[in-house]
Amino acid sequence: MAERFLRPESSKRFGRRHTPDDRFAARTPAETALLQSAPAPDWVEPMLATLTDRRFSDPAWIFERKFDGIRCLSFRHGSVVRLLSRNRERLDTTYPEIADEVAAQAGNDFVIDGEVVAYEGSRTSFELLQQRSGITDARRARSSPVRVRYYVFDIVYLDGHDTRFVPLRARKQLLRSAITFRGPLKFTTHRNGEGERFFEQACTWGWEGLVAKRADSTYASRRSPDWLKFKCAHGQEFVVGGFTEPRGSRIGFGALLVGYYDDDGSLRYAGKVGTGFNDAVLRQLSETMDKLQVKTSPFARDRGFERGTHFVRPELVVQVGFAEWTREGLLRQPRFQGVRQDKSAREVKKERPLESGRR
């Protein structure tokens, strides 16, 4: 379905301007002037953060917790609710308790952006969330012992108005006034200015990291340097291009061969991932990869793969944590964390931090 929203970086505006209702009464005249009349959207391309290796403090920026979960945009149009992942997969029946709470909100039309997470103790766990990600039956999802929460951090549409041109700090104020946060719906709080101190605390607490956001930024439907990722540990998505035979008492397979797409469109080999699996995951992934097997390697270069290596069509995306990149461009101490069903293989590229000193 075609996107009915223009991108924020476009200079073209929507139709005529509405007179704001009470929901917008707290906005300044300048912020009100940035509200654009628009129909309820079918889809909004999410704004994505850029990785950086520079930590900083700046009063012009806000700092939010980086969650280890699934990105989710919630669309409410009258009585119709849709939860969509980054690749537009429907999540309503996977997380029905969230859909219920979105449906129960006052007002009619809105689009909010956030992250669905599952907690293991005091920490969010992508591995635990995997137990819910594959469920598409609402009754099964409701009976799952894995409880989820939806941390909402932005609002991009509200009652006939596109809010993406409004500065971020004002959007967050609008979000808090427009949505009642209860049950699994949680407001994503932030700190002003103190990025370095907050980052140190986040890593001590076992968080994945922070997202630094320019406080006056618009919501741009692309990856933007106005949102920056501070990561406490290394980790990203990779594409599975093959697997090795199991050894000893191991079932299913030995290790995954993973890679990422380079700027020239070729699949670059990044290494083998052999830890982080339980027997159930080994069986499930083995069954999936058996259906994807091909005779030739999908990787750009022949790395001299061991005898008995099996290759697959590069369609399966997995999340991998690792210690660092080696000089040879391979992963050191990689560990499987889960399957990513919210991202397509062609989206997966090596995350390269912005150069130090730039932001």
Residues with active-site annotation:
66
Give the number of C-alpha atoms closer than 13 A to the C-alpha of residue 264, restricted to the C-beta side: 5
Phi, psi (deg, nearest 5) at residue 261? -85, 130
| β-pair partners for 335 | 321
Helix (H) or strand (E) holding 139: helix 138-143
Task: Determine the Cα–Cα distance for residues 314 and 298; give it in Å rounded to an integer.
Answer: 7
76 touches 105 (CB < 8 A) = yes
CB-count exposure of residue 248 (10 Å: 0-12, 13-18, 19+): exposed
Mark 316-333 as b/e (b = at least 16 C-beta within 10 Å).
Answer: bbbbbbbeeeeeeeebee
Hey, what are 7's tokens? 């991108």
